[in-house]
Amino acid sequence: MTEIKYCGLTTPRDIHHATEHDADHIGLVVHAPRSHRNLDPAQARTLARTAPGTTNTVLVTVTQSYETLHDALDTVNPDTLQLPYDTKPPHELAEDHGVGLWLAMGIKDTLKASVRVIEDALSVADRVVLDALKDGYGGHGEALDWDAVRRIVDKVPRERIVLAGGLTSDNVREAASTVRPGCVDVSSGIETDGVNDPDRMRAFARAVREEVSA
């Protein structure tokens, strides 16, 4: 079954609705000052504590500071840390804190280059998040070329791939059926005027579950 990650949640209400609408993972953004979803680590900790124990809490950040990451993990105590692929050395940090590790990246110019980078990432990380990143930031509502992603995913363990980038309730069924990732990741696609919308969460979850049962 395709898992769902709702990313960029900012209020207890968001957590409640995400849980109500089939969230397997919730993403809490910290130390990402250009994102309107950015939280103070103390705010993220409060939200993480409201999430059910069956839901994986993912601390999402773009900071390159080891000390900042260490302090954020101590404060929030998430289940998983998500970083840009080029953050070094991420796996030691995750291991030190006993959390899972996801690495986010875009796709490369060639199939061979993309597969090589993903394999390198999966040698230290639990999952790779494929997204249309800009300076390490996702959540722009920009979709990847799903056919190109499918050719890449065909050559790596697809259950360890998280597909992000411009997903909405209108296109996630096609995206998931084309790529067949282990998880789909949405942020802008569940927002209305920059605010998380429970009706859009409901529609997104329904579309994903319809794809799974198709």
pLDDT in tens, 61-99: 998 888 999 999 999 999 999 999 887 666 788 899 999
Averaged over 117-130, what is the pLDDT? 95
Q: Is the CB of residue 131 less than 8 Å from the CB of residue 144?
A: yes
What domain range is 180 assigned to? 3-213
Instruction: Tell whether the model's pLDDT for residue 196 goes beyond 70.
Output: yes
How confident is the model at residue 136, as a pLDDT? 52
Q: What is the CATH number of the domain that holds 177?
A: 3.20.20.70
What six digits make up the tokens of 146? 């799903």
Query: Based on the structure, what is the number of domains in the chain?
Result: 1
Runs of H (alpha helix) within the chain: 12-20, 41-50, 66-76, 90-97, 111-122, 146-153, 172-179, 198-213
Global pTM reads 0.93
